[in-house]
Amino acid sequence: MTRIKDALDAVAAAIIAQKDYLTALDAEIGDGDHGINMARGFRAAVEAVDEMDDTSKPGPVLHAIGKALIQNVGGAAGPLYGTGFVKASEVCDENTKLNIESCEKLLGAAIAGIERRGHAKKGDKTMLDVLIPIHDCFLPEHAEGKTLFEVLLDASHAAKEGVDYTKTIVARRGRATLVGERSIGHEDPGAVSSMVMYRALYNFLKK
């Protein structure tokens, strides 16, 4: 079993473990199904990757995860997360390794795809309010002189700050827009699931 497959298993396990919490968050300002949908999607992603003959290269694995999420996660999260994984897969090449440069490139491609698909930006109370701050930590102006694990730790803190930020703003995208000002004070479920995914990956890599 290759390391990238192990990483997927860790992320999937974290999402499944937080299914009820994510669903409860979504029930406050959305459809109340985010955790259920995400757990179903990551179970499908694990199955899809399990069926692959070769999981040693990140590009094909990320693409398989993305397609599984698009096909199995309901609501907006499936197309958005799925697009992110697919777009990240498209910038993988023989130089893609576990380093700061590759992390920045893959995250940047994923975010650009999510922005285009969801017509969203930072400050709209979405997953981007976590993903963009994570990505910023890997940019040269922030990462210069730091080790990969120092940057990964910075990004873990940035993810939590992003989730906290979503509590202070009005939702401008998705179902939560229907509750308007009442969305203030609530964490965005997509932002929280992004933090859960990132921190699961971070904790896996620390081992």
| Residues of the chain where predicted confidence (pLDDT) is lower than 50 | 1
pLDDT at 1: 36
Q: How far is it between the farthest Cα atoms of the chain?
A: 49
Q: Which domains does the chain have, with CATH numbers?
A: 3-206 (1.25.40.340)
**For 18, which DSSP code?**
T
pTM of this prediction exceeds 0.85: yes
Torsion of CA 117, 119, 121, 124, to 10 degrees: -110
pLDDT at 106: 98
